[in-house]
Amino acid sequence: MADNRQVLIARLPSGRLQPGDFEIQKAAVPTCREGEVLCRTLALTIGAGQRAGLQGSASYAGAPVAGVVMGGTGVARVEASNSDAFRVGDVVVAPTGWQDYSVHPARAVRRVDAGTDPALHLGVLGTNGLTAYFGLLEVGKPRPGETVVVSAAAGSVGHIVGQIAKRQQCRVVGVAGSVEKCRILVEELGFDSAVNYKDPDFRAAFKAATPGRIDVYFDNTGGDILESALFRMNTHGRIVCCGAVSQYDTANPGPGPRGVPGLLVNNRVRMEGFLVFDYMERYDKARAEMAGWIERGELKPRVTEFDGLEKAPEAFVELLGGVNVGTTIVRVV
Amino acid sequence: MADNRQVLIARLPSGRLQPGDFEIQKAAVPTCREGEVLCRTLALTIGAGQRAGLQGSASYAGAPVAGVVMGGTGVARVEASNSDAFRVGDVVVAPTGWQDYSVHPARAVRRVDAGTDPALHLGVLGTNGLTAYFGLLEVGKPRPGETVVVSAAAGSVGHIVGQIAKRQQCRVVGVAGSVEKCRILVEELGFDSAVNYKDPDFRAAFKAATPGRIDVYFDNTGGDILESALFRMNTHGRIVCCGAVSQYDTANPGPGPRGVPGLLVNNRVRMEGFLVFDYMERYDKARAEMAGWIERGELKPRVTEFDGLEKAPEAFVELLGGVNVGTTIVRVV
């Protein structure tokens, strides 16, 4: 068995994340004790929310430290098992972190179909897809004919939110960070319209793209885009607070958006934060439903792939820089 | 019949409201046409939200103009009627504005019990009380044992919110702007605790007063107090956005609170604005219920009274300055 390559958090980022905030070391492959499984990482996913986990202030994931293996979710093959629940060769989703090998209690890993591309398990059928599904349908509650706007619309969650909203017979507008991303949203993923927030005329373009204002705004960014959306909400509109990527990659998050709480009152807007983990009991049903949509070509998951564990820091930096489309996947094997 | 004294908006306030922003003129008593009633104002109520109506940006009440009679709700006696629905001597609640006499279509006024103090019709049985009732019970949805915090707690809405929350078996903490107001809340109105936001140690005192954090925050102020509450919310907490008095009496409202949307996500907090008018169909039932509470001594409405129409500007300035306790009432007759 080879060495266990591990990507460590070398230092907590003080400003914008850099590849040099990470370093690679080789360690011994760990052994699994009673009730544990040894996992060989096949692929990892990286999400923008993990940047929040590196900020000094604790997020829901707890306070970060340097000198440890960077955390993250992967698809892995079971290489050794001391649990009756798993056999060698099983494919699982596990909190592998950024490394080749990891051991886990059997209850911490979940067996998945070995014949399905790991990128699907980590994307649309993983936390990203479930976040889109429950956030939009359970918190946003869009009705047919309503206008749904999603920010970071070409991102891992956003590109699924928009497609589910189209299935709900909504008018769907995406906000993304490049002309090319906007093109993909409209031409390839069926969005009705897309607006580039880096365009100097963003506010005017955003207004033009939402002539009937906004009924559901699915917010992945916070900051200026959230503020722009607040000023465009319809009476009894809903803002789904999913993430705040605009505030993650910095040591100094900005003030909150103007219009809170005044506009919420005037327009009777509901603004609600959620974490997908609260819907855990309904994951299987949601996954089955989305798998059906994919099979019938009604939902098109997108992926940006990086090849090799050593590319993980670069993949993370590019994700935060707005380069990637869809779910960011690092193929390890 | 005497002259009709009217208080006009002499100029739109550019900063903090001043009595000189108003002026008094005498006009002829208007006459009522077919289907209208002529009303003699007995008492007026003034609410902090009316300051928002004087800001350049339109609130839900529309854009303000100078040179017109200041708007407002009053209790009035019908002096002449060209409607079958009302007789001379009836007592009504009407959008009288700040003047002695006004005419209204019959459908715009509502008959009330002539034997009840106008201050009750304008306070707890008027918009203030209904706002407290529906905002707390329908938007906040407090459960027994939860901690409810209300800002502007000694104000027209806040002092009723706190008392209704106590009826719901909640732990109730008020935030108010003076030691005396805090004393009244705890000693006279049954709040469990009260914190003075002008205290230099406010944040520490606020934390100490909410050892189990906050389940429902009823926000009448916005600004710093809202921000403090955001950082103390429990998982699945609810913020009822009722008003933003901290932002009204200024030409330059501040930025939104830090923690939006990050803390909403981490703690799965729902933040929801409402306007009481959306509950209009249930007003009568709510009024009857609150009248019963008052009769049984379970709800103690408070009033700060000013005597004479000419005192209305002063009453408004003192209200915004945080001087008044409970509903602000101007007795006209």
DSSP string, B70-137: PP-EEEEEEEEE-STT--TT-EEEE---SBSEEEEEGGG-EE--TTS-HHHHHTTTSHHHHHHHHIII
Does B285 reside within a domain? no
Q: Does B63 touch chain A (CB under 8 A)?
A: no
Percent of chain A with pLDDT over 70: 96
* Whether residue A145 sits in one domain with residue A116: no
Domain termination residue (choose one: A262, A277, A292): A277
* Whether residue A133 sits in one domain with residue A116: no
* Whether residue B252 sits in one domain with residue B138: yes
Q: At what angle do helices A127-134 and A158-167 cross, to 10 degrees?
A: 40
The string of pLDDT tens digits covering residues B11-33 is 988 889 999 999 999 999 999 99
Nearest CA among A130, A87, A86 for reference residue A108? A86
Please give, rounded to a whole number of angstroms, the shortest distance from the CA of B219 to a CA of chain A.
9
ipTM field: 0.89
Task: Report the pLDDT value the prediction gives residue B173, as an integer from 0 to 100.
Answer: 98
Q: Does A256 touch chain B (CB under 8 A)?
A: yes
* Whether residue B307 sits in one domain with residue B224: no
Task: Report the pLDDT value the prediction gives residue B104, as an integer from 0 to 100.
Answer: 98
The rounded distance, in Å, linking the Cα atoms of B294 and B302 is: 11
Please answer yes or no on whether A256 and B257 come within 8 Å at the CB atom.
yes
Nearest CA among B271, B330, B248 for reference residue B64? B248
Please answer yes or no on whether B269 and A264 come within 8 Å at the CB atom.
no
Q: Does B30 touch chain A (CB under 8 A)?
A: no
* Whether residue B230 sits in one domain with residue B101: no
Q: Does A280 touch chain B (CB under 8 A)?
A: no
Provide CB contacts within 8 A for B280, sequence distance 6+.
Answer: none
Please give, rounded to a whole number of angstroms, the shortest distance from the CA of B261 to a CA of chain A.
6
A-chain residue closest to B265, CA distance = A273
Q: Identify the CATH number of the domain in which residue B69 sits.
A: 3.90.180.10
Task: Report the pLDDT value the prediction gives residue A109, as an integer from 0 to 100.
Answer: 97
Task: Report the pLDDT value the prediction gives residue A56, as an integer from 0 to 100.
Answer: 63
Please answer yes or no on whether B261 and A226 come within 8 Å at the CB atom.
yes
Please answer yes or no on whether B261 and A227 come within 8 Å at the CB atom.
no
Q: List the single residue in A60, A261, A278 with the smallest CB-CB distance to B226.
A: A261
Nearest CA among A103, A110, A114 for reference residue A126? A110
* H or E element at residue A28: none
Write down the residue that tokens 């098109």 correspond to: A300
* Whether residue B35 sits in one domain with residue B134: no
The rounded distance, in Å, linking the Cα atoms of B119 and B328 is: 9
Task: Report the pLDDT value the prediction gives residue A79, as an integer from 0 to 100.
Answer: 97
**Taking every pair of C-alpha atoms in chain A, what is the biggest distance, in angstroms?**
64
Which letter does DSSP use for residue B296 in this model? T
Q: Does B270 touch chain A (CB under 8 A)?
A: yes
Q: Identify the CATH number of the domain in which residue B265 sits.
A: 3.40.50.720
A-chain residue closest to B278, CA distance = A268
Helix, strand or coil, per DSSP, at residue B269:
coil
Residue ranges, chain A, pLDDT below 70: 1, 56-63, 249-253
Q: List the single residue in A267, A273, A278 with the smallest CB-CB distance to B264.
A: A273
Task: State the residue range of the domain holding B320.
Answer: 4-123+302-331
Nearest 5°: the CA angle B248, B46, B249 is 15
Domain termination residue (choose one: B277, B293, B318): B277
Write down the residue that tokens 């981490």 correspond to: B266
Beta bridge partner(s), residue B181? none
Task: Report the pLDDT value the prediction gives residue B63, as an integer from 0 to 100.
Answer: 67
Task: Report the pLDDT value the prediction gives residue A246, as an integer from 0 to 100.
Answer: 77
Q: List the single residue in A242, A265, A270 with the smallest CB-CB distance to B270.
A: A270
Task: Write the CA distances from B35 to B41, B96, B100, B112, integer angstroms.
Answer: 19, 17, 20, 19
Residues from chain B contacting residue A261 (CB–CB below 8 Å): 219, 222, 226, 239, 241, 244, 271, 273
Residues from chain A contacting residue B247 (CB–CB below 8 Å): 262
Residues 213-242 of A with CB under 8 A from B: 219, 222, 226-227, 239, 241-242
Does B297 reside within a domain? no
* Whether residue A201 sits in one domain with residue A94: no
State the total domains in chain A.
2
Are B33 and B125 contacting, i.e. CB atoms less than 8 angstroms apart? no
* Whether residue A234 sits in one domain with residue A157: yes
Residue ranges, chain B, pLDDT below 50: none
Burial class (CB in 10 A: 0-12, 13-18, 19+), A231: middle
The rounded distance, in Å, linking the Cα atoms of A60 and A243 is: 12
Does B287 reside within a domain? no
Does B156 reside within a domain? yes
Please answer yes or no on whether A219 and B261 come within 8 Å at the CB atom.
yes
Does A61 reside within a domain? yes
Are B12 and B48 contacting, i.e. CB atoms less than 8 angstroms apart? no
* Whether residue A211 sits in one domain with residue A170: yes
* Whether residue A220 sits in one domain with residue A118: no
Q: List the single residue in A247, A263, A264 with the smallest CB-CB distance to B262.
A: A247
Does A30 reside within a domain? yes
Which letter does DSSP use for residue A251 in this model? S
How many CB pairs (< 8 A) connect A and B? 117
Does A157 reside within a domain? yes
* Whether residue B115 sits in one domain with residue B208: no
Q: List the single residue in A257, A268, A273 with the smallest CB-CB distance to B265.
A: A273
Q: Does A250 touch chain B (CB under 8 A)?
A: no
Task: Report the pLDDT value the prediction gives residue B250, as an integer from 0 to 100.
Answer: 67
Does B136 reside within a domain? yes
* Whether residue B119 sits in one domain with residue B134: no
Task: Report the pLDDT value the prediction gives residue B65, as an integer from 0 to 100.
Answer: 81
* pTM to 2 decimal places: 0.91
Q: Does B62 touch chain A (CB under 8 A)?
A: no
Residues from chain A contacting residue B261 (CB–CB below 8 Å): 219, 222, 226, 239, 241, 244, 271, 273
Q: Does B140 touch chain A (CB under 8 A)?
A: no
Q: List the single residue in B219, B255, B267 with the smallest CB-CB distance to A261.
A: B219
The rounded distance, in Å, linking the Cα atoms of A289 and A133 is: 10
Amino acid at B282: R
Are B234 and B215 contacting, i.e. CB atoms less than 8 angstroms apart? yes
